[in-house]
Amino acid sequence: MDCQECLERLHPYLDRELTSKELDEVRVHLDDCGGCDSAFVLERVFLDRLRGSATSDVAPSGVRERLILRLRTDVRRRS
Ligand SMILES: [Zn+2]
């Protein structure tokens, strides 16, 4: 699996919508690849916040982009 394939599967991975073989492939790639692992952490935080919000199941894409940008800034500050 390459990075493109991995990133495309992050959401289904988090939602457990992949086959167990695909779950394993994503897990192995995340272990090997720091870039995809960072993206995975961001997606997981984003989904957690989304699920924690009572207002809406789906954030408008603009909100999502801003949230991801802010999370990336936070990660950079921490490291
Ligand atoms: Zn990767």
Tens of pLDDT, residue by residue over 9-52, are 998 998 889 999 999 999 999 999 999 999 999 988 888 887 77
- Please give all residues whose CB falls under 5 A of ion ligand 1, grouped by chain where several chains appear: 3, 6, 33, 36
* 57 pLDDT higher than 80: no
Instruction: Quote the ligand 1 centre to 34 CA distance (angstroms).
Output: 7
* Spacing of C-alpha 53 from chain mean position: 17
What CA–CA distance (Å, rounded) separates 16 from 28? Answer: 16
Q: Given its phi and psi angles, is residue 42 left (phi above 0), alpha (psi -120 to 50 degrees) or beta?
A: alpha
Residue 55 is encoded by which pair of tokens? 């207002």
Say if CB 1 and CB 29 are below 8 A apart. Answer: yes
For position 60, what pLDDT does the model report?
A: 62
For position 79, what pLDDT does the model report?
A: 57
Instruction: Quote the ligand 1 centre to 21 CA distance (angstroms).
Output: 17
Give the global pTM. 0.61
Q: How far is CA 40 from CA 11, 44, 46, 55, 78, in A?
A: 9, 6, 10, 24, 17
